[in-house]
Amino acid sequence: MKRKIRVGSRDSKLAVMQTELVMEAIRRADPEIELELITLKTTGDMILDKTLDKIGGKGLFVKELDQALMDGRIDLAVHSLKDMPMEINEELPIVACAKRGDPRDVLVLPKGAKPGSYYLVKVGSSSPRRQLQLQILYPIIHLESVRGNIMTRLKKLDDGEYSALVLAAAGLQRVGLQERIYKYFSTDEIIPAAGQGILAVQARKDLDVAFLEQVNDPTTALAATAERSFVRTLDGGCSSPIAAHAVIQDSELRLKGLYYREETQDYSIGETSGPAERAEKLGEELALRLKEELGG
């Protein structure tokens, strides 16, 4: 008999499509596994009139799925890693990271808009990380908060509520809307969120997940470890404009990070590099160095 695995996902179009990408990878790795998709609406998806820091942070996108895992209603949960809390949950570990998609942020204009002085008008972004770096790039930019899933945000843009949006490239690409992208920001212009572009698989600690071995991409997992270690060391949540991006080449990991000290409203950007197997320590060391630079 085939082994049946129930896979949990948020119920947004993007979340479901991303989960289906992981499910297809599992099917390719082990055709003997039968998969069932179960979608759940999370608190973070339902409360759209407040910024995340006002309603409880990133955990609101995973709480319902975490509970479903603990209750045994699902066996796996698939998340965008950047939406997961940085704290390590020993009961519900991250057991696989699929090969990373595009980590960059992008600028999106309304349908039919003619490129022009887009940065001088109302740009929608609820991410403090993006807001800080956009203001560095374009000091006179006017930013407004925007919440909702990717389709909701695009509708608000096209309805004239915003002149432009800044979104994650990977999300638009995965739902087939890459033609909406007007400009890609390099990872030096806007350092991505830790885990951006990465799909993570979470499970109960007692589940046999050997079938995920071919789904997991070790290079992506090490990059994620360094980025999340950096943010975790700085105790950065959704209200703090902390950013981290790691690249691995020939077993060498290069990590770039941004630390913002809220007390003084100063920020520091730095880099470090070293053997990829030291990913967690490299993230921690860079975080402590930037913190010391700002007197933290």
pTM of the predicted structure, to 2 decimals: 0.90
In one-letter notation, the amino acid at residue 261 is R
Q: How many CA atoms lie within 13 A of 55 on its CB side?
A: 17
Quote helix, strand, coil % in the chain, to nearest 5. Answer: 35, 25, 40
Q: How do the pLDDT tens digits run along the chain, 296 residues long?
A: 789 999 999 998 999 999 999 999 999 999 999 999 999 987 655 454 444 454 445 556 688 999 999 999 999 999 999 989 998 889 999 999 999 999 999 999 999 887 665 555 789 998 999 999 999 998 888 899 998 889 999 999 999 999 999 999 999 999 999 999 999 999 999 999 999 999 999 999 999 999 999 999 999 999 999 999 999 999 865 567 899 999 999 999 999 999 999 888 899 999 999 999 999 999 999 999 999 998 86
C-alpha distance from residue 241 to each of 134, 163, 256 (Å): 11, 23, 14
Continuous H helices in the chain: 13-29, 43-46, 52-55, 63-71, 128-137, 150-158, 169-174, 218-233, 279-293
Q: Could you give the residue numbers annotated as active site?
A: 83
Token reading at 211: 């079938």
